[in-house]
Amino acid sequence: MQHQDKHISDPELLQDIENELSAHAQKQVRAHLDLCWQCRTRRQELETAIADFVRAHQQEFEAILPPATAPRAMLKARLSQVPRIERAASSDRRFTWAILAMAGGLAAFILYVGLAPRTSRQAIVLSAPDARLTPGATLLENRQAVCAQANIKNKAVPVALQREVFAEYGVRGESHGYEVDYLVTPALGGAEDIHNLWPHSYSATVWNAKVKDELEDRLREMVCNGSLDLAEAQREIASNWIGAYKKYFHTNEPLQ
């Protein structure tokens, strides 16, 4: 400890500011500060530097931190799967669920699904899936893993699974007008699972499967160039893919 005749070092002054000194050392420092204007000034400069840094730090990061909603939902999904992951690991599989439908998305689905009459079931599968049947499911893969794959687009869905999807949605006899589409495309980590599949019309609506393909390409490009978080892309396409299309293409109508 330097005091009285010698000035106090910066680390000691800082420890005094931070209450990191022992009681004895603090007493000595305070005694010196009572007498030494130079050390008091230096102490004040360090306090000012802390305040300057805190302001700059806050300003630097406040603009770049994305909302916590999507990562929080993803964490909850992953936590609920921990035992399942352990079981999957034993069979060398990393498959898991992630439920991606959010409150906002549900509202959109109500618009497309919930208010439609049950008797016209096929009419409600024109543009968007039933969130209760198809909330979306993903593999537990990170951005690097997803982007390392060649652009796999929508891989073929097994015929038996397609039949199951059509049956669940009540599409019978006219299934030729539909593609069993992935809600979250495999190109964004979507899983080949019934919770991630729905019958999407090729042509009966402007918001058809071809338009959704454009969105999937755009989102994958953004995820892989780092301008969009993978979890956010999965959430947006699962909760309201039409809204996502409008957002990322800056249009209210399909560009096709």
Partner 1 sequence: MTTRSTVHPAVSAIGTGVSSGSSSSRERLEAEVVALFDELRDPLLRYLVSFGLVTADGEELLQEVFLALFQHLNQGKSKKNLRGWLFRVAHNLALKHRSKTQRDFAKRTQSQAAEFAREPGPNPEDQVQRSQAQQRLQAVVHALPEQDRLCLFLRAEGLRYREIAGILDISLGAVSISLARSLGRIARTAER
**What are the residues binding partner 1 (CB under 8 A)?**
9-11, 13-15, 18, 20, 45-46, 48-50, 52-57, 59-61, 63-66, 68, 71-82, 84, 96-97, 99, 101, 133, 135, 142-143, 161, 164, 168, 193-195, 223, 226, 228-231
Question: Can you tell me the distance from the alpha carbon of 185 to that of 177, in angstroms, rounded to the nearest whole number?
Answer: 20
Is 138 strand, coil or helix?
strand
Q: From the CB of 230, what's the least distance to partner 1, in Å?
A: 7
Q: From the CB of 92, what's the least distance to partner 1, in Å?
A: 18
DSSP string, 178-228: EEEEESS-GGGTB-SSGGGEEEEESSSSSS-HHHHHHHHHHHHHHHHTTSS
> Which CB atom, from 78 or from 213, has the smaller least distance to partner 1?
78
Q: From the CB of 211, what's the least distance to partner 1, in Å?
A: 26
Q: From the CB of 73, what's the least distance to partner 1, in Å?
A: 8
Question: Can you tell me the distance from the alpha carbon of 209 to that of 200, in angstroms, rounded to the nearest whole number?
Answer: 6
CA dihedral 70, 76, 82, 87 (to 10 degrees): -70
Token pair of 45, please?
Answer: 């400069």
Question: Can you tell me the distance from the alpha carbon of 67 to that of 84, in angstroms, rounded to the nearest whole number?
Answer: 28
> Which CB atom, from 111 or from 161, has the smaller least distance to partner 1?
161
> Which CB atom, from 80 or from 151, has the smaller least distance to partner 1?
80
> Which CB atom, from 18 or from 253, has the smaller least distance to partner 1?
18
Q: From the CB of 94, what's the least distance to partner 1, in Å?
A: 13
Helical H segments across 67-208, by residue range: 69-80, 82-90, 103-109, 143-148, 159-169
Q: From the CB of 164, what's the least distance to partner 1, in Å?
A: 7
Answer for the pair 46, 14: CB distance below 8 angstroms, yes or no.
Answer: yes
> Which CB atom, from 163 or from 210, has the smaller least distance to partner 1?
163
> Which CB atom, from 46 or from 116, has the smaller least distance to partner 1?
46
DSSP state of 111: I
